[in-house]
A and B are shown apart, each in its own frame.
Chain A
Amino acid sequence: MKSLRNHLSLVIALLSILFSLQTFVIVQRSVDAYKDNLANNYSLVVVSQKRLDEKAVMNKHKLIKQALALSPDSVIKKLNSGINKKNIDLLKLSLPKFYKLILTHYPSPSEVNNLTKALLRDTSIIKVETFSKSHDTTYKLLLLFKTVISVFAFSVGIVTILLIFKELKIWQFKHTERMSIMGLFGAPTWLSSAVLFRLAFVDALIASALAFMMFTYVGSTKWVHEQFSNIGIEVVVFDPIVDFSIMLAVALVLSTLLAVFIVISHKEEV
């Protein structure tokens, strides 16, 4: 019971830090996945007086991933009635050429602006349709979402620092006395602080293991995946190798720093 109490305070502090960290990672992954989703569904339409070389169009700006010529057939079909084939062929020739541009990522409004200017430098291009109104609204929503996440991350950072400082004071109170007593009987610093480092190591392992179990469970829950698929994205909630390694490293670094700080700030009793 006593031993459990010794571990509990740091384990809880570390666990809450790891929980916040992983939550932030999941949210960041969701934003990235949503951004990719938006990029896949967003494209520009370029209207040109003459046929354009698709490779040449792609070279006009690094943002362009692919240029696809749009067939005028569906437009002509609507005018089909009462026009003979010869006139339709003539009409096809006189119609401007339409190209759909697929982009590498979801662009900002200024990137869209630059891209439009770069395309319009080609005199044969007469119009670039960016669907700016809908693009701007979506982009602003994404920005808002990102800002909210940044505020959340900042708050988590503050809470983490406060938690660590609180833990530091508790640890200082708890371990300084023992370290002083050991020092009075001739224990070298490494020996008098060995218990502290062992406790820090064990607590980091326990907190990481608990976080591992918690997020493995969350990651396997159907409900969580349904929420992501509802907004058309797929997100890796918990990568047992990468995410666990990061969690373990963070927990070990934090608890070791805490122990080091206590050892450094420890003053021998007079």
Chain B
Amino acid sequence: MDKVIVADNLSLAYSKDETIINKVSFSIDSGSFVFITGASGSGKSTLLKSLYGALKPNEGSLVVAGVELRGVTKSKLNLLRKHTGIVFQDYKLVKEWTIEKNIMLPLIISGYDKTIQQNQVDTLLKHVRLKHQAGKYPQELSGGEQQRVAMARALSHNPVLILADEPTGNLDDYSSQLIWNLLEGANTDLKSTVIVVTHHIPESMGIDYKHFHIEYGSIHEVS
């Protein structure tokens, strides 16, 4: 099976004195569903940031979808991000844009036709049960609704890789279940590789998944 992520002796740090991830090696198969768990401050989110190029490797190599992220150029990084859907813990929605336009963002960046953009947004709004909120602004929605918008945005351009940082943290059961269903659907229907950073793996997962655990700067697969 093709590898979508290959890390070799990878070290990540925000400063020279503070190494968060220390010389880890792992790989993730294309089309798999992966959970990354670990205690608070263990480096889960840091690792996820490195996967979309927001944090460059200090040591070793990190290849995501064929792109070596150590010393990656801006244009190559943009290309990788165009094929990646990211769900942030703090949603990162554009405040001055409507829900509809926020979901449209990856499609605008990828240069899709306006009709395709609108059709895709309409479909996703139905999936996240927010069709009636399309014209509203993010700050007019609850936290759960904002996270559903962020999820719809991450899926809008059918990405090959979906990275989700605690997508259900602090959400009610209804929103959480909706998000897990969408992530499962993206993995099974779109064949996207899904990597989720979380504290708790939901018990109701209906698909096979892999589980990596981060502890003391190293990562190991939990069987």
Which residues of A are in contact with B by a Cβ distance under 8 Å? Answer: 2, 6, 174, 177-178, 180-188, 191, 268-270
Instruction: Enumerate chain A residues within 8 angstroms of B95, measured Cβ to Cβ.
Output: 177-178
Judging by beta carbons under 8 Å apart, are A184 and B81 in contact?
Answer: yes
Instruction: Enumerate chain B residues within 8 angstroms of A181, measured Cβ to Cβ.
Output: 92-94, 105
Instruction: Enumerate chain B residues within 8 angstroms of A269, measured Cβ to Cβ.
Output: 54
Judging by beta carbons under 8 Å apart, are B52 and A184 in contact?
Answer: yes
Judging by beta carbons under 8 Å apart, are A2 and B94 in contact?
Answer: no
| 5 pairs of residues in contact across A and B, judged by CB atoms under 8 Å | A181-B92, A184-B52, A184-B54, A186-B77, A268-B54
B57 CB–A CB distance under 8 Å: no
Bound: A188/B109 CA distance, A: 8
Instruction: Enumerate chain B residues within 8 angstroms of A270, measured Cβ to Cβ.
Output: 14, 49, 54-55
Bound: A186/B106 CA distance, A: 8
B212 CB–A CB distance under 8 Å: no
Contact among B81, B109, B137 for A191, CB-based, below 8 A: B109
* Interface residues contributed by chain B, number (CB under 8 Å): 29
- Most chain B beta-carbon neighbours within 10 Å: one of A185, A186, A268: A185
Instruction: Enumerate chain A residues within 8 angstroms of B75, measured Cβ to Cβ.
Output: 188
Judging by beta carbons under 8 Å apart, are B81 and A185 in contact?
Answer: yes
Q: Helix, strand, loop or mixed for chain A's interface?
A: helix
CB distance from A198 to the nearest CB of B (A): 13
Bound: A182/B109 CA distance, A: 8
Contact among A6, A177, A186, A188 for B94, CB-based, below 8 A: A177
Which residues of B are in contact with A by a Cβ distance under 8 Å? Answer: 14, 49, 52, 54-55, 74-75, 77-84, 86, 92-97, 105-106, 108-110, 137, 153
Contact among B14, B86, B97, B137 for A185, CB-based, below 8 A: B86
Q: A191-B109, A269-B54 are in contact. Are A178 and B96 (CB under 8 A)?
A: yes
Instruction: Enumerate chain B residues within 8 angstroms of A2, measured Cβ to Cβ.
Output: 96, 137
Judging by beta carbons under 8 Å apart, are A184 and B92 in contact?
Answer: yes
Bound: A186/B85 CA distance, A: 10
- Most chain B beta-carbon neighbours within 10 Å: one of A180, A186, A187, A270: A186
Judging by beta carbons under 8 Å apart, are A187 and B96 in contact?
Answer: no
Residue of B nearest to A192 (CB): B109
Across the A-B interface, the 6 shortest Cβ-Cβ residue pairs: A186-B81, A186-B82, A186-B78, A187-B109, A178-B94, A185-B106
Bound: A265/B6 CA distance, A: 34
Residue of A nearest to B86 (CB): A184
Instruction: Enumerate chain B residues within 8 angstroms of A180, measured Cβ to Cβ.
Output: 92
Bound: A185/B105 CA distance, A: 8
Residue of A nearest to B75 (CB): A188
Bound: A268/B110 CA distance, A: 20
Residue of B nearest to A187 (CB): B109
Bound: A184/B105 CA distance, A: 11
Judging by beta carbons under 8 Å apart, are B109 and A186 in contact?
Answer: yes
Judging by beta carbons under 8 Å apart, are A185 and B54 in contact?
Answer: no
Instruction: Enumerate chain B residues within 8 angstroms of A177, measured Cβ to Cβ.
Output: 94-95
Residue of A nearest to B107 (CB): A185
Extra pairs beyond A182-B94, A185-B106, A270-B14 (15, CB < 8 Å): A2-B137, A178-B96, A178-B97, A183-B81, A184-B54, A185-B82, A186-B77, A186-B81, A186-B82, A186-B110, A187-B78, A188-B74, A188-B75, A191-B108, A269-B54
